[in-house]
Amino acid sequence: MSDSVNIKKMNDLSEILSSIEGISLSEMDGVKLLDRVDRKYMFNIRLFPEILEALKNDYKILDVNGVRMNGYETLYFDTPEFKMYLDHHNGRLNRFKVRIRRYTESDLCFFEIKQKKNTGRTLKYRIVRADFNDRVTDEELKMFHRLVPEMETLIPVMQVNYRRITLVNRKSTERLTFDLGLTFSRKDRKTFYSAIVIAEVKQNRMSDSPFVRVIHAMHIHKVSLSKYCLGIISLFDTVRKNNFYTYNRKLNKISHEEN
């Protein structure tokens, strides 16, 4: 995507975002959805203004101190053999992701574990931490060792930074997030996806969603590729990725769509 197109798309987005009724962090307490079902979608940013325009009467938007496109910094951990990644790649249903996340605007930082259960539900466990660094504390090890036995072998493998737009359904318990400006990095390598938007629908149970109706009408189908796995296949050449071949091809196709 050219710089001129990028600027136009961001201006279009800003105009639509400012027209949506805001909601504060404290007002979002009722839709934390730490135990939920979720669906993910991936599309080119050129479609985003049209999608947001279709949704603005059904959702409110998270506003943090006047900012509606909030910064996230996330450091992921895995074993030296990439067990967390391979569990997803190999289709294991009871799997985990371990990360430290910082919310830029609020300057909140958490140690988090996401568990994908064999029931299809996603559970998130987290505790507040003092700062954003690459060391797992003794308290975190002790608290989560029973849940993730590999805790003591985990090492930092990848960081992902992005901007997130969060919408909250006006009528039902549903949160909708859009991640854009995805930057994946390790010590010696970095990948940036300027044209990709990853959307995730989060609900307490699978139910109707205005966003899903809109996205299906545009013939955009859900994917099963997490940002963590996307980062790993983008940054590491030697990991197994044959089961993600279809998603990798789709990623490249979306990235190079005409804008």
The answer to whether 63 and 23 are in contact (CB under 8 A) is yes
DSSP 8-state code for residue 21: P
Q: Structural domain boundaries of the chain? A: 3-255
Question: What angle (nearest 5°) sits at the alpha carbon of residue 23, between those of residues 57 and 159?
Answer: 105
Other residues' Cβ atoms within 10 Å of the Cβ of residue 73: 16
Q: What residue has token string 């949506």?
A: 20
Q: Provide the pLDDT for residue 8.
A: 61
Collect the ranges in the chain with pLDDT lower than 70: 1-10, 30-34, 258-259
Q: Give the chain's count of helices (H) and strands (E).
A: 7, 11
- Paired with 112 in beta bridges are 99, 126
Q: Which two tokens stand for residue 69?
A: 């496109």
Q: Which two tokens stand for residue 85?
A: 């990644």
Element (H, E) at 18: helix 3-18
Q: Provide the pLDDT for residue 208.
A: 87
Long-range contacts of residues 216-221, Cβ cutoff 8 Å, at least 24 apart: 218/43, 218/47, 218/51, 220/41, 220/42, 220/43, 220/47, 221/41
Q: Provide the pLDDT for residue 106.
A: 85
pTM recorded for the entire structure: 0.90
Q: Provide the pLDDT for residue 1.
A: 46
Which residues are CB-contacts of 65 (< 8 A; sequence separation ≥ 6)? Answer: 105, 106
Question: 3-state class of 143 per DSSP?
Answer: helix
Please provide the DSSP assignment of 125-138 as one string: EEEE-SS--S---H
Let me know if domain 3-255 sits in CATH 3.40.50.300.
no
In whole angstroms, how far apart are CA 206 and each of 174, 201, 214? Answer: 10, 10, 16
Q: Is 139 exposed, middle or buried (0-12, 13-18, 19+ CB in 10 A)?
A: exposed
Which residues are CB-contacts of 49 (< 8 A; sequence separation ≥ 6)? Answer: 9, 12, 13, 16
Q: Provide the pLDDT for residue 233.
A: 93
Give the separation between CA 118 and CA 116, rounded to whole angstroms. Answer: 7
